[in-house]
Amino acid sequence: MHPARAVAICRDMMEFRPSIRRKAAGWSLMGLGVLGLVLPFLQGFLFLALGTFVLRHQYIWAHRGMGWIESRWPETVAKVEGMEQRLVARVGAQWQKLRGLLRRA
């Protein structure tokens, strides 16, 4: 298959969710990952994998990288996705409470 065709198929299958906060968090994790490859006290691969996870809905290359990570460690990726869903739900509930308090004031 031609590489341009593969990118077009991947782009059609991928759900883009542009977010400046996600990009900033993802690139920060990627930077820590690169530092972790050199520095002995940081786990470089862990930060690179987390950065790829955060950026998976921002960039095609991260989406493909997540596919590789998921094929290698499917249980771990499922756990991390579950944690992400719980975190988003918890933050959303807290945000709604805060908005309710601000409306009363």
**For residue 2, is pLDDT > 60?**
no
Instruction: Indicate the average pLDDT of the chain.
Output: 82
Distance, CA of 51 to chain centre: 6
Lowest mean pLDDT among 11-15, 27-31, 73-77, 101-105: 11-15
3-state DSSP of the chain = CCHHHHHHHHHHHCCCCCCHHHHHHHHHHHHHHHHHHHCCCCCHHHHHHHHHHHHCCCCHHHHHHHHHHHHHCHHHHHHHHHHHHHHHHHHHHHHHHHHHHHHHC
Model confidence pLDDT, tens digit, residues 61-96: 888 888 888 899 899 889 988 988 898 889 888 988
- Which percentage of the chain shows pLDDT scores above 70? 83
Domain ranges of the chain: 3-104
Q: What is the pLDDT of residue 22?
A: 86
Model confidence pLDDT, tens digit, residues 47-58: 998 888 888 888
Task: Give the span between the Cα atoms of 5 and 43, in whole angstroms.
Answer: 35
- CB neighbour list of residue 14: distance below 8 Å, 6 or more residues apart: 57, 60, 63
**For residue 8, is pLDDT > 60?**
no
**For residue 12, is pLDDT > 90?**
no
**For residue 14, is pLDDT > 70?**
no
